[in-house]
Amino acid sequence: MQTDIGYFEEGQLGKTYDVKLLKRMVPFIRPFTKTIFWSVMLVVCITLLDLALPYATKVAIDRYIVPKAETAAENSSAGPKTNTRWITADLDRADVRAVVGNHPDLFELKGSQALIKLADLERLDKREIAVIRQNDIRGLGYISALFLAVIVLDFIFNFFQKLIMQYTGQMIMHNLRMRLFTHIQSLSMAFFTRNPVGRLVTRVTNDVQNMDELFTSVITFIFKDLFLLFGIGVVLIVLNWKLALATFAVMPIVFVATAIFSVKARDIFRILRIKIAEINTRFAETIGGIKVIQLFRNETDNYRQFEKLNHENYLAGMRQIRVLGLFLPAVEVLGVLATAIVIYYGGGETLAGTLSLGSLVAFISYMKMFFRPIRDLAEKYNILQNAMASAERIFLILDSRSRLPLPAPDDREHQLAKIETIDLDNVFFHYVADEPVLQAIDLTINAGETLGVVGPTGSGKTTLVNLLARFYDPSSGQVRLNGRDLRGYDPQAFRSKMALVMQDPFLFSETVRKNIFRADGHMTPAEMDTILKMSNCEAVIDRLPDGPETVLSEGGASISSGERQLISIARAFARNPQLILFDEATSYIDTETEIKIQDAMEKLMSGRTSVIVAHRLSTVRHADRIIVLNRGRIVETGSHEELMDRRGFYYHLHQVQV
């Protein structure tokens, strides 16, 4: 059988559109609209608090530390003082009057206030300065308290905003992973034939985890940082629109640099996701095939292949670093350039008296805040593109329709009480076009009959079992159950009445009890003991350290293949099936264990319809009927004695095994 294990999905990816991918996330986000709304409200509050701090600094400088030049003394005897900075003191206080009385030549009186030039303050001693500037000191105390309050509120709002977004991101990620897991479980065997385990594991783990950062970081960036940029722009224009326009002159360069970065980064992130998937797949194959690798001393060749993948991932990572290494310094340089413009142009206006010192300091603070989100853009874009690359692959799986068609709801209601007959009518099947595996199969299996299926390797025996279990649908022809096309039944309906014992049974990393009685928790202890006895599992379980509560390792690797097969037969017993399928159930088993397995199989088949696929002809010797497959066709049919008397294909197979 030929399979396509290449990275087909990466090959299908063309130009993607983030907006479309984000729209597809809306159904997962919609249940959390309220929490996101409150998060956005907190973001607005945080943004307003961030904007308040530099403005509070401006007020502290202009009003309490270095008052701006004003014309407060224009009508005094000294004449207009347009470019003079004045400190005002209240004459209602006795200590102020005492200082003014000691230095009458330094003060000018205006009503109930005394004014002194800022430059003349140095002629007073420290105690007198404290008396004259006590209002300013009190004002600075209020500003400091305001700063503390803003910082505390900012901490509280940030805490709850991050808590809400982390909760939202975790819940969306939980729902997305469950949706992906449920969808993968519903896909047909053909899908798993084409897709390596490592790739699927990457989708459910790493790719979904990347989506969490999209919700917790990028959504915050969209609201908080964009609100902050807009708010800073408005405040700068209000402070001094000419200076704001001068500093905004660097913005076109920033936009061009961002556009170039986004184009370069997207391709790199896509390559990185592909390489991670390939590394995971190679590593999963290495772990799964470690016995073969070590037995055939293939470690060096396998190492070189992994080294090649890892080096390609390293090169892609270095490309990412180079792009970031150019973008981040470029934004930093542009930020310094904007600050230099503010210092040069704004400093000149401050010296000319048209711009206060506090406004200049606030302007510089706002410019630093303005470029902080732009610098963060690289990190946020990192996260966004990583998430978008993961979203592409997640939705590629969710869009997969590689599943067996279900019957219409009306047909699905058809009840299946008992399996009477199974018919294969002119069935053809192929995994790959123009490479038929089964050809013109005509076969009827009656209730209670034991059918043996034999033939050389590659003749289509296992494929026949896959069609009976409807893991695949025939390429042409029909498989009918009780005269009705198998596709007309809900798969769960007829699979609940069958059991499959495979050549290499799969056991879960759970207790032996759960592996056997997974779907039959309502059984009584006496019924469980009967099943264990009928399947010859009692001796196996008695040897285990914790009996039926012994936890098996992955795939049941901690016990022998024969013991796994006996547990698998016990699991089939627990289902009480009407149809039992055995696919090479006695292969690779020692003679003693084979006797136990055959005894358990005979008990299991008693009164049930059975199909036994076997390589050893002794396994099907007592079957009611045997069909012989060769190159996908039925070449002989009959009982063991009849086939031996014909001295045909079956006879030659028997002679080879004797």
Mean pLDDT of the chain: 82
Does residue 474 share a domain with residue 371?
Answer: no
Token pair 């530099």 in the structure block, residue: 54
Domain that residue 38 falls in: 8-63+139-398
Does residue 562 share a domain with residue 532?
Answer: yes
Q: Which long-range contacts does 280-289 make (Cβ < 8 Å, 24+ apart)?
A: 280/198, 280/199, 280/201, 280/202, 280/206, 281/196, 281/197, 281/198, 281/199, 281/202, 282/198, 282/306, 282/309, 283/198, 284/196, 284/197, 284/198, 284/201, 285/196, 285/198, 288/197
What is the count of structural domains for the chain?
2
More confident residue, 7 or 551: 551
pLDDT score of 74 more than 50: no
The enclosing domain of 250 has a CATH number of 1.20.1560.10
Query: Residue 109 in 3-state DSSP?
Result: strand
User: Does the residue 609 lie in any domain?
Assistant: yes
Proportion of the chain above pLDDT 90, given as a percent? 15
User: Does the residue 405 lie in any domain?
Assistant: no
User: Does the residue 100 lie in any domain?
Assistant: no
With CA atoms as reference, report the closest residue to 316 among 280, 261, 275. 275
Does residue 419 share a domain with residue 364?
Answer: no
Which residues neighbour 38 within 8 Å (Cβ) at sequence distance 6 or greater? Answer: 164
Average pLDDT of 181-206?
A: 81
CA distance 478 to 443: 11
Does residue 365 share a domain with residue 458?
Answer: no
Does residue 385 share a domain with residue 499?
Answer: no
The answer to whether the CB of 462 falls within 8 A of the CB of 611 is no
**Domain boundary residue among 343, 377, 398?**
398
Does residue 653 share a domain with residue 604?
Answer: yes
User: Does the residue 90 lie in any domain?
Assistant: no
CA 261 from chain center: how many Å? 25
Q: Which long-range contacts does 532-535 make (Cβ < 8 Å, 24+ apart)?
A: 532/570, 534/573, 534/600, 534/603, 534/604, 535/566, 535/567, 535/569, 535/570, 535/573, 535/600, 535/603, 535/604
* pLDDT single digits (tens) 332-390: 888 888 888 888 888 888 877 778 888 888 888 888 888 777 777 666 776 777 777 78
* pLDDT single digits (tens) 510-569: 888 888 886 545 778 888 888 888 888 888 888 888 888 888 887 777 788 888 888 888
The enclosing domain of 610 has a CATH number of 3.40.50.300
Per-residue CA distances from 389 to 214, 265, 272, 637 (Å): 11, 11, 9, 55
Instruction: State which H helix or E strand residue 625 sits in.
Output: strand 625-630
With CA atoms as reference, report the closest residue to 25 among 394, 500, 506. 394
* pLDDT single digits (tens) 462-486: 899 999 988 888 989 999 998 888 8
User: Does the residue 403 lie in any domain?
Assistant: no
User: Does the residue 73 lie in any domain?
Assistant: no
Does residue 158 share a domain with residue 36?
Answer: yes
CA distance 326 to 9: 31
Proportion of the chain above pLDDT 70, given as a percent? 91
Does residue 493 share a domain with residue 370?
Answer: no
Read off φ and ψ for residue 523, nearest 5 degrees: -70, 145
User: Does the residue 91 lie in any domain?
Assistant: no
CA atoms within 13 A on the CB side of 454: 25
DSSP code for 407: P
Burial of 152 (0-12, 13-18, 19+ CB in 10 A): exposed
One-letter amino acid identity for 516?
Answer: I
CA distance 189 to 473: 10
Which residues neighbour 536 within 8 Å (Cβ) at sequence distance 6 or greater? Answer: 566, 569, 596, 597, 599, 600
More confident residue, 137 or 13: 137
Helix, strand, coil share (%) of the chain residues, nearest 5: 65, 10, 25
**Domain boundary residue among 367, 398, 429?**
398
pTM confidence score:
0.68
Does residue 434 share a domain with residue 375?
Answer: no
Does residue 618 share a domain with residue 591?
Answer: yes
Token pair 């008992």 in the structure block, residue: 418
**Domain boundary residue among 371, 398, 425?**
398
The residue count of the chain comes to 658
Does residue 308 share a domain with residue 175?
Answer: yes
Q: Which residues pair with 432 in a beta bridge?
A: 435
Give the pLDDT score at 3.
40
Give the pairing of strands 633-638 and 625-630. antiparallel
The answer to whether the CB of 421 falls within 8 A of the CB of 445 is yes
Does residue 417 share a domain with residue 390?
Answer: no
Which residues neighbour 354 within 8 Å (Cβ) at sequence distance 6 or greater? Answer: none
User: Does the residue 110 lie in any domain?
Assistant: no
